[in-house]
């Protein structure tokens, strides 16, 4: 068995040496890294075939022939046998000659075929893993190069657009400064029709944004119909205050006997007391539940109420408890409509995470809170448009119930672009911001007419 060793800086070069020296049928016995290089032990295909056991009907499997000696000749020394033969009479009958059996050859050492098979399997697995790692690294480099080339081409293309169509630059700068995402800003800019100046282009953009905000035009659809509503969202977005504002509107329309309040917030200190104070002012009983079983019992007891508002515990969008909370609200056997409270001061990326976490089987709608604290509300409107959320109300303060208003798309868009004193981005920065924008498939349903 002629095992050869090959050493090279990389696995690819070492395998090439094996192929050149032993041919494509070579068997790899081991593959390991030694002192920064790759060492491969290989065996020629013919040698590996010779090590395999022969089939039973092969001539090579037959036992070796042997001859038997006479007992007298075997027991005497060779010289005595020769002299005794010489003294024999010529007329004496000659015994028939028997072939002399050759001495048996020493047995070849046994070959551990299982060991060789395991070495071959390990070598093949190692070669596949090495090739896969190299392929992954190469694909990552290709993707990085592709992204770099796309970014540079986008920068060049947008630079040409700035010169040929300056009104698109105006729209893009205003949308980015208002907090809208680069993907939505670029999508609308690409669809922007020919305009005489920047003012006309801005008016078209605001009209399109307002048209794509799905707002509740009349709160009768919510208050008159009634039902069970749960306000959900992260901690600190104003769920309890918003619940109190909605409760006050329901009481003014239907009276306190038609309304029930439920709280599931058993974590924050004083959370129950805050809602109970609101309930006492409104003359509405507040029920506290701990889990799904309690909530099921409470809803069954309150099934004669026109409207039931549930104030849920605030949970971070990255907490596993969000999924548990959604499952609890969906598993009580009652149609619980979840309304997401969105903090207008949060970034677009954070709000997108919140929507995806609380989406579940579907949200009934959303309420934008803390408008009075937000420097710009473009991020919140961007998420509402891209995720096709139905916007119920907008809250801009702590007063109950005065600071809760029906969502007016035109007013919200005007609020998003109002109060900007100086441009936030220069002409040289816009290509860099837009070049890296990823096309969002959710923007395909944006309505322009």
Q: Is residue 127 one of the residues assigned to a domain?
A: yes
Same domain, 1 and 135: yes
Does residue 264 sit in the same domain as residue 119? no
Indicate whether 137 and 262 sit together in one domain.
no
Residue 260 lies in a domain: yes
Output the pLDDT for position 229: 93
Confirm whether 71 is domain-assigned: no
- Answer yes or no: do 40 and 119 share one domain: yes
Domain count, the chain: 2
The reply to whether 124 and 8 lie within a common domain is yes
Shared-domain flag, residues 252 and 386: yes
232 with 136, same domain: the answer is no
Per-residue pLDDT at 273: 78
Domain finish residue from 406, 424, 442: 406
Q: What is the pLDDT at residue 76? A: 47
Please report whether residue 368 resides in a domain.
Answer: yes
Whole-number Å distance between alpha carbons of 355 and 366: 10
The last residue of one of the domains, among 369, 388, 406, is 406
Question: Could you list the residue range(s) of the whole structural domain that residue 123 is in?
Answer: 1-50+114-147
| CATH code of 316's domain | 3.40.50.300
Pair 255, 343 in one domain: yes
Q: Is residue 82 part of a domain?
A: no
- If asked whether residues 399 and 263 sit together in one domain, one would say yes
- Asked if 5 and 132 sit in the same domain, the reply is yes
27 with 139, same domain: the answer is yes
Residue 241 covered by a domain: yes
420, part of any domain: no
Question: Is residue 305, in this structure, part of any structural domain at all?
Answer: yes
Task: List, run by run, the mean pLDDT of 10-residue segments along the chain (449 residues).
Answer: 82 87 82 84 72 55 49 44 43 50 53 76 86 85 74 60 71 85 85 79 91 88 87 90 92 92 73 81 89 88 92 85 85 87 91 89 90 90 92 90 90 83 58 61 71
The verdict on 218 and 142 lying in the same domain is: no
């Amino acid at each position: 068995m002629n095992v050869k060793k090959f050493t090279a800086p990389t696995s690819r070069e070492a395998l090439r040496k094996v192929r050149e020296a032993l041919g494509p049928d070579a068997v790899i016995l081991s593959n390991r890294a030694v002192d920064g290089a790759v060492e491969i032990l290989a065996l020629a295909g013919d040698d590996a075939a010779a090590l395999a056991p022969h089939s039973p009907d092969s001539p090579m499997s037959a036992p070796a022939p042997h001859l038997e000696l006479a007992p007298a000749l075997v027991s005497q020394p060779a010289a005595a046998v020769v002299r005794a033969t010489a003294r024999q009479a010529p007329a004496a009958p000659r015994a028939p000659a028997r072939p002399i059996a050759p001495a048996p050859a020493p047995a070849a050492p046994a070959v551990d075929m299982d060991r060789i098979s395991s070495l071959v399997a390990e070598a093949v697995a190692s070669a596949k893993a090495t090739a896969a790692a190299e392929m992954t690294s190469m694909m990552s480099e290709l993707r990085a190069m592709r992204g770099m080339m796309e970014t540079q081409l986008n920068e060049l293309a947008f630079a040409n657009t700035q010169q040929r169509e300056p009104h698109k630059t105006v729209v893009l700068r205003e949308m980015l400064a208002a907090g809208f995402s680069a993907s939505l800003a670029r999508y609308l800019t690409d669809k922007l029709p020919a305009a005489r100046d920047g003012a006309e282009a801005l008016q078209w953009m605001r009209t399109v944004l307002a048209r794509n905000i799905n707002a509740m035009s009349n709160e009768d659809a919510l208050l008159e119909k009634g039902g069970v509503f749960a306000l959900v969202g992260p901690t600190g977005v104003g769920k309890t205050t918003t619940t109190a504002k909605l409760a006050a509107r329901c009481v003014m329309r239907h009276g306190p006997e038609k309304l029930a309040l439920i709280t599931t917030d058993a974590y924050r200190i004083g959370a129950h007391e805050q809602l109970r104070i609101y309930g006492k002012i409104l003359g509405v009983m507040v029920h506290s539940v701990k889990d799904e079983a309690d909530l099921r019992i409470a809803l069954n007891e309150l099934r004669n109420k026109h409207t039931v508002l549930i104030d849920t515990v605030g949970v971070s969008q990255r907490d596993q408890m969000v999924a548990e909370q959604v499952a609890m609200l969906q598993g009580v056997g009652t149609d619980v409509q979840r309304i997401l409270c969105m903090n207008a001061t949060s970034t677009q990326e954070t709000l997108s995470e919140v929507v995806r976490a609380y989406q579940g089987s579907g949200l009934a709608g959303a309420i934008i809170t803390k408008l009075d604290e937000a420097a710009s509300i473009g991020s919140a409107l961007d998420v509402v448009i891209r995720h096709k959320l139905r916007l119920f109300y907008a809250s801009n303060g702590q007063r109950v119930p005065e600071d809760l208003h029906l969502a007016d798309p035109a007013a919200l868009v005007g609020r998003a672009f109002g109060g900007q004193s100086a441009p936030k981005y220069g002409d040289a920065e816009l290509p860099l911001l837009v070049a890296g924008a990823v096309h969002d498939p959710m923007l395909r349903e944006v309505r322009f007419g």
